[in-house]
Amino acid sequence: MVEAIAYVGIDIQFTRLTAEDRERGLVFLYLYDLPYADLTAYAGVIITNHVEEQFLMEHKAILDEYLLNGGVIFSLTEISLPWLANVANWKRSPIPLKDREIIIEPSDCSLFKGIEPYDINYRKGVRGFFSRGYFEKIPAYAEVLITDQSGVPILYVDRHSTNGTIFAGAGTDIYKVFIHEENTSKKLSIQMLACIREEAIRNYANGGISK
């Protein structure tokens, strides 16, 4: 199984990878190089919030083919166009950020294992960094990983809509935003990559392709 994971975005400061990121197996994939990339070279694809959705819409067939063959996509985008299979549009939460509580739902998924809810709700005592939005609807068999106090889904995993796996998060780069924190949330970036690789292994065992 391959270990590399693509990190897709436009080339701006926030999307640039560090030496530590590259040591972890992340490879920056410039959004506009997507049509020329071989996605099967990656254990998974992280799509940041720094993308042009119209471009992704025009090249939706590439993502569909990747998922058909057992690929893993982790979307961190505030989606407003249907470029990712069965992922609904992002909605802005009516709850003010300072009042919104992020809730980790019970799950067998290891993404948030050992992470204290407080640590993803607050950074340096300020609340509101995890997400501003939610999904109005999700696929029937999706597993919800994060909600807020109103019960709306903020992050989920869908292993049934395609032959692959889709993690859909409502607009927060959970890989980068907590990476330098000095609490349990610091583990989130490493666990995110581990989850992607676990799903890739599972999908490959079930007949997905790999190099």
Is residue 104 in a domain? Answer: yes
Domain of 149, CATH number, reads 3.40.50.880
Average pLDDT for 122-129: 83
pTM for the full predicted model: 0.94
What is the mean pLDDT of the segment spanning 193-209?
Answer: 90
**What value does the mean pLDDT take over residues 7-26?**
87
69-94: average pLDDT: 95
Residue 210 falls within a domain, yes or no? no
Structural domain contains residue 93: yes
Q: Is residue 211 part of a domain?
A: no
Q: 102: Cβ–Cβ under 8 A, 6 or more apart, which residues?
A: 117, 120, 121, 130, 131, 146, 148, 154
pLDDT at 131: 85
Rounded Cα distance between 191 and 211, Å, is 23
Query: Distance between CA atoms of 132 and 130, rounded to whole angstroms?
Result: 7
Considering its fold, how many domains does the chain have in total? 1
Query: What range does the domain containing 195 cover?
Result: 5-205
